[in-house]
Amino acid sequence: MLATGCTGRLARMNHTERPCAAVGWTSYRYAGRYGSIMIGATSTQDALNEADRSLTQGAATVERLEIWNALTGLYEKVTT
């Protein structure tokens, strides 16, 4: 799958494997019941609040939240 405006490795990645947040926000990914929930947020707590809005059962937990690491080009578990 090729993304418009992306080049190289990012262009070949699935949309859930690359950052999706707008400029000035941090990309987070939450492991939801039916797949990844892509989130752009200003903080970890903000990302959890946004994940809560998408969940139909239970509360969002930091254990299921990942943050984009621009240095490695991968999502990583959020450390508290």
Sheet of 65-69, strand order: 35-41, 26-32, 65-69, 74-77
Number of domains in the chain: 1
Residue 41 belongs to some domain of the structure: yes
The token duo for 1 is 């799958």
Q: What is the mean pLDDT of residues 2-30?
A: 70
Q: What is the pLDDT of residue 17?
A: 76
Residue 51 belongs to some domain of the structure: yes
23: number of CA atoms within 13 Å, CB side?
A: 0
Residues 26-78: tens digit of each pLDDT:
999 999 988 999 999 999 999 999 999 999 999 999 999 999 998 998 999 99
* pLDDT of residue 13 exceeding 80: no
Q: What is the pLDDT of residue 53?
A: 95
Residue 2 belongs to some domain of the structure: no
What residues contact 20, with CB distance under 8 A and at least 6 apart?
27, 38, 40
Residue 39 belongs to some domain of the structure: yes
